[in-house]
Amino acid sequence: MRRAEYVVSYEDFLEAMKAYRRVSKRALIGYYICVWLWPALLLVCGVLCFCSQMQQDGSLFGGLFWLAVVCFGLGFALPARYRMGIRRAFNQRNVLVKNNPMFSEFDRSKIRFVVPGGAEISYPWDAFTDYFESDKVAVLFVKDAAFHTIPKRAMDEAGWSEFRGFVNSHARSV
């Protein structure tokens, strides 16, 4: 049985979230709407309201000015709120670990994730629906809503080769 010990950093979690958006169309659509589409529309609306206010009567603090302020505020607040939600999700995952190293053990039949002094969960390899690997992390997906992140620094190349062999024979790669 091979063992990997690691601490998932916030940067690792961000990499895993990128992978999550590749797997879950709902997460990808939510990301583009909250971080790009609505803010862009609100900023354009703010600019148009501000320009219209200046052309109407030249007074700065009319009704359209305040609508422009609200549009600008929401245009910047929506992406910030999304980022805060990502940070909150990372912190909730970190509550169990409390910055202590966790580990995973795997063999031919299963993989086990263990938080020392806390939770422990085992999965057969075929429980994973998708797999994503970047230069920094490997992400195992359980259905569309749950995933486990293993930083690449957790194992040497021989360990990753063995791990990939088990994953490739059971889960699809993204």
- Over residues 124-169, the pLDDT tens digits come to 988 888 888 888 999 999 876 688 999 999 999 999 999 999 888 8
Q: Over 80: is that where the pLDDT of 171 sits?
A: no
- Contact between 106 and 148 under an 8 Å Cβ cutoff? The reply is no
pTM, whole model, 2 decimals?
Answer: 0.81
- Over residues 75-133, the pLDDT tens digits come to 999 999 999 999 999 998 887 777 778 889 998 889 999 887 777 899 998 888 888 88
Q: Over 60: is that where the pLDDT of 50 sits?
A: yes
Give the amino acid at 119: A
Q: Over 80: is that where the pLDDT of 47 sits?
A: yes
Helix, strand, coil % (nearest 5) of the chain? 55, 20, 20
Per-residue model confidence (pLDDT) at position 174: 52
Ramachandran angles phi, psi of 37, nearest 5°: -65, -60
